[in-house]
Structure 1
Amino acid sequence: MDRLTPSSPRVQAMPVKECDEPLVDIALASGLQFGPPPECPETAPHYRFVRRSILERLQHAQSLLPDGICLRLYEGYRSLQVQQLLFDQEYARIKRRQPELSDAQAYRETTRLVSAVQRPDGSLNIPPHATGAAVDVELVDANGQVLDFGMEIADWSRVDPGLCVTDAGGLSASARYHRQMLQDVMERAGFVNYVEEWWHFSYGDQLWAYVTGNPVAIYGVIDL
C-alpha cells in the first residue's frame, strides 16, 4: 500500500459534498495570530484565508492552550496556481537530490510534502490547502517567538523529510513536548494531523474524511 498522503489514491477517492461555506480572513478575527506570507510572494494575497468553521476551530484550539502560548497561522488557503508552483519546485529538488528515481517515483516522493494538483495521467487532485480546510500552524510565546519544534516550518524543503514527521525520532524533549501540545489542542478542536508534517492539520477535507471514517469530505477546491 502506498504511503498515506493527501494525494494518495485512496484519499483522493473520498467523495466531496461541498458545503459552500465561505472563506474568511483570520486577520479580521480576534485572538488569532499569523506570520508573514510564507514560501513565495505569490502566497501573500490569500494565505490568511480559511473556511469559516476552520477559523472557529482554530479559536477553540487557542482557548485550550496555556496562558502565554499562542497559536499562529503559517499558511491557510493556497490557490491551485501557487500549489502547482510549489509542487514543481519540490519535484525539481527531488530530481536533483535523487536523479536515479523514475518520474513516477519522483512524483510520489514529491507528494510526501507537497500535494499534487494533477496526477501523472492528467486527472485532477484536490490539494488540501486549495480547499481552505487545511492549515499550517505553530506555537509562539508571549514575545512572538516560535517554540522549539526541532525545526522551523519554513525549513521543510531544506531538512531531511524525516524531521518533518510528527513523531520524528531524535527530537529533544522540548521539541517533542511542543509537537505533542500542538497536536493535542488541534485534535481536541476536531482537526486531524497529516503525519508527514507536524504543522499540517485539516478538518472537512478528503484526508480528514479518510482518517476519521466520515463518508464524505465537505470542502472541495474553492477559488478566490
Structure 2
Amino acid sequence: MNGLTPSSPDIQAIPVNECHEPLVDLTQCSDLRVGPPPECPETEPDYCWVRQGVRDRLIQAQALLPEGIYLRLYEGYRSAAVQQMLFVNHLAQVKQDQPDLSDQQAYVTSTQLVSAPSRPDGTINTPPHSTGAAVDVELVDERGTVLDFGMEIADWSRVPPTLCESDCAGLSEHAQHNRQHLLDVMQRVGFVNYPQEWWHFSYGDQFWAYMVGQPVAIYGRVNR
C-alpha cells in the first residue's frame, strides 16, 4: 500500500464515471442485518444506505457465511457534511495527541483513519463513505453478539492505530480467524479492504478502482 489512503493524490486522481445507481436502505432488506446507529448521532439518518450494487454484493457475502453467522452493517453512507465534521474532529485529536507534527503531517496522519473531504489547499476529495460505495461491517452470531475481532469498531479512535489494521500482529487466534474470515468473504464477492481498517470495505469507488486496476470508478459523491 505504501501509505496510500483513500485521500491520497494517486487515489483521488482516478476519474469517476458515475453510473447513477441509486442508494437503497438496508433496513428494508430482509437478507441483511443492520446494527444500531454508530456512535456519532449525526450519522443516524444516513448510515444504513448504500448503493444498490453494494447491497447486492453484501447479500452474496451473507450467502457464503456458515449457518448462525451474520454480516451486520455498522455504517454505510455518510453525507459530505458529516464526513467533514468527523475529519475535523479527528484532526483536532491527532494534533492534541501529537503536538510536534506539522500541519501537513497531522493532515496525512488523520487521513489514515478518516478520509478528508478536501485537501489543505481546498481541492475537493471524494471520501468513500460519501459515495455509498463503502461499508463498515462486522460478523455477529444468532443473538446479535459481535464475534471477537480484537476490538470494537466504535473504539477506533481510542485504540492504537495498529490494532485497527487488518493484519494486526499479536491478536488472539479467534480474532485473527474472524478478521480473515470476514476479509475472505468480502473479497470473494468483489469488495476491497482498506488495510488500515479491518472493518472497511468498498466496491466501485476510487480506492476500489486503484486496488483492482480499473481505469475509472463508477461511484462518486452522491446526495441522499
TM-score (normalizing by structure 1):
0.99
Q: Give, in whole Å, the separation in 2 of the partners of 1:171 and 1:4.
A: 24
The secondary structure found in structure 2 opposite 1:50 is strand
Q: Give, in whole Å, the separation in 2 of the partners of 1:2 and 1:130.
A: 24
1:163 shift after superposition: 0.3
> Structure 1 residue runs of 4+, over 4 Å off?
none
The secondary structure found in structure 1 opposite 2:71 is strand
Aligned residue for 2:123?
123
The secondary structure found in structure 2 opposite 1:71 is strand
- Give the number of aligned pairs: 224
Deviates more, 1:108-117 or 1:39-48: 39-48
Aligned residue for 1:21?
21
Aligned CA-pair RMSD: 0.9
Aligned residue for 2:140?
140
Q: Which runs of 5+ in 1 are unaligned?
A: none
Q: Percent identity?
A: 65
Aligned residue for 2:57?
57
Q: Give, in whole Å, the separation in 1 of the partners of 2:206 and 2:35.
A: 26
The secondary structure found in structure 1 opposite 2:42 is helix
The secondary structure found in structure 2 opposite 1:123 is coil
What letter corresponds to residue 107 of structure 1 in structure 2?
A: Y
Aligned residue for 1:159?
159
CA contact (8 A) 1:18 1:220 kept: yes
Aligned residue for 1:94?
94
1:39 shift after superposition: 2.9
What letter corresponds to residue 71 of structure 1 in structure 2?
A: L
Aligned residue for 2:220?
220
Q: Give, in whole Å, the separation in 1 of the partners of 2:212 and 2:2.
A: 19
Q: Which runs of 5+ in 2 are unaligned?
A: none
1:8 shift after superposition: 0.7
- 1:172-191 correspondence runs (5 A): 172-191=172-191
The secondary structure found in structure 1 opposite 2:65 is coil
Aligned residue for 1:79?
79
The secondary structure found in structure 1 opposite 2:136 is strand
Aligned residue for 1:149?
149
1:40 shift after superposition: 1.2
What letter corresponds to residue 27 of structure 2 in structure 1?
A: A
Q: 1:94-125 CA distances to partner (integer Å, 9 max, x unpaired)? A: 01110000000000000000000000000000
Q: Give, in whole Å, the separation in 1 of the partners of 2:179 and 2:50.
A: 22
CA contact (8 A) 1:2 1:8 kept: no
1:2 shift after superposition: 5.8
Q: 1:135-157 CA distances to partner (integer Å, 9 max, x unpaired)? A: 00000011100000000000000
